[in-house]
Structure 1
Amino acid sequence: MEQKNISLMHVYREFKPHLSMVITQVGYTIIFFITEASFNHGMSPHVYVTYRHIVAAVAVFPFAYFLERNERPKLTFFLFMEIFVLSLLGISLSLNMYFASLNYTNPTFVASVVNTIASLTFVIAVALRFEVVDLRNPRGMAKVIGTIVSLAGVLIMTLYKGPIMRNLWHPLIHMPEKSAAINKDWLKGSILIISSCVTWAISYIMQASTLKRYPAQLSITTWMSFVGAAQSAVFTVIVEHDSSAWALGLNIDLWSTLYGGVVAAGLIIYLQLWCTEKKGPVFVTMFNPLCTILVAILAYFVFGEKLYLGSIIGALIVIIGLYLLLWGKEGDQEIDDVKTKECSTLHPECRI
């Protein structure tokens, strides 16, 4: 019996990162539906982003303050301005456009397009000469082909909706009807989510640079949440002229805000950072399509969302392109690991 328990513990330790990433993708899947229900109820996406990051900042602050008080470097004015721009790209602009796009499309479409962030990050990194592409290398060619395939998949989803897939039965869970002010506009929703992915990709490139100068992940997450919430609040005041939009009752609006702040911007971010440290960024990104699959299954079979043939075809193409790109990027990770080992062997001061 004791040997069996030891064996189970070994399996748990071995697959703990995998389990963590599955939990992360399930958590992201819930976000799509709980926020869509809240927006259908009448909550403004811009108010949601503001409140969500206030909750996130308050939730993460104690951990950042106590766990990183001995490692946190001094925050200079120029570093704060860098965090300000990072918050603008990674929270204010990207998330306001991201959640607004749900008003005009559906969760399956949005979850599928988000998979192109890796491809867009690669394109921007190459354009800024942060990354070099070797077309003579099979992995270098895979990165280019994977990027083109992913972007082609998004183009198909945007321009070709196709016939609606007929629901086999009545939805198990009835979603609230959309507010009268919200209308489906596939093109507008597509522009919003693609723009969101572009700003997200730029923020990921910038984030790597900022973390080198301010290597305190919890603290920078707290700062970004506070600053992003303030930026979003200013934007919301400009576009939302009805003061009642800020009101929260004991309903889906409150629960979606608390879930988004504590779980999505708190627990899930922590799990992703932990898995990135243990297994590397390629491992973390490999699980992203799971969210797309879960969203599509729940949307169609449980919530009775309209599922278009174009979205299914496009999503499959995007996922194929993503894995081609990741296979190419995995080669870069292996090269980096070899260089790190060589550096550690030859120069002990390189060890972290």
Structure 2
Amino acid sequence: MASKSQKAQFDVKTQFEAIGQQFQTLQILNEEGQVVNEAAMPELSDEQLQELMRRMVYTRILDQRSISLNRQGRLGFYAPTAGQEASQLASQFALEKEDFILPGYRDVPQIIWHGLPLYQAFLFSRGHVKGNQIPEGVNVISPQIIIGAQYTQAAGVALGMKKRGKKSVAITYTGDGGASQGDFYEGINFAGAFKAPAIFMVQNNRFAISTPVEKQSAAQTIAQKAVAAGIPGIQVDGMDPLAVYAAVRQARERAVNGEGPTLIETMTYRYGPHTMAGDDPTRYRTSELDNEWELKDPLVRFRKYLEGKGLWNEDMENETIEKAKEDIKEAIKMADETPKQKVTDLMEIMYEDMPANLREQYEIYKEKESK
């Protein structure tokens, strides 16, 4: 007969394993573009399905061109997005215009589709102040560089919306590495305690920068970390745009109905390096793993689904590609024509009342710039 200590240990282990098993991955489309979960299918018109596909194709071209522009020295910091289009764009597609996006540095596509002009996204990459001057009525902030810091900011923005009685949400994004940060836990805990209308997205692309997710946390899923904050958590196939859309749309409905925040973990993959700043993914990822995830490509999967419904064809794809190329060409031209930022510009923006020591330096630079 088992002792009390043995029985207690067995119960704890069983309960712990049961938590992980509760978080099964939501999927609607399989890798062949076939519907495998009709019950979870979101209500989207044919036109909406086509528009989501258009945005995904457009963004894949934007990623390819941005990498080229970076290599040419025409863009600064850039984090590739190929492979994560379903996670990024289907989640934004599930929002309303009044909702607020607090992105990480890889989440530029979401804020572009939420209204940030493309040329300003390019200026952000160059470190130009005008890239951070968000137009009136565009509810986004500049991409956060500090890992996970946007989670506490999102909790605050969401609480502000609640206090103002707004029927809108704040959504924020981080990667699997961000889920190991203190700000991640503080953000979901605060939002949960105050039932703030927030959606917390963790795009689990498996490697943060280069550390496998298995070495970042002993948890079987990131979604189950929601349990500690007393909020719902769900794991979603992040290569399936319909599953991502359905999860975010439902989370939004919960939030605006006063039911509080949701944590969503999307299982996805970035095909490129962490950033273009010298990262070499071949040092920590195998070609076998890359090949495995290429078979799950969100564009291929969604294309097969739409073609099967007669909603997408090669002409529509080519038209979208050409439109993306033209827009990118015009946007980079606008960025090039924007007056270069001066040292005095930076000093003026940083301070309302400039300290005396910087005022002296400011006058020196101002004189040099006038010559």
Bigger share in helix: 1
Same fold (TM over 0.5): no
Give the TM bin, normalised by the shorter chain: under 0.3
| TM-score of the two chains, using structure 2 as the length reference | 0.26
Structure with larger Rg: 2
| TM-score of the two chains, using structure 1 as the length reference | 0.27
Bigger share in strand: 2
**More contact order relative to length (CA 8 Å, sep ≥ 6):** 1
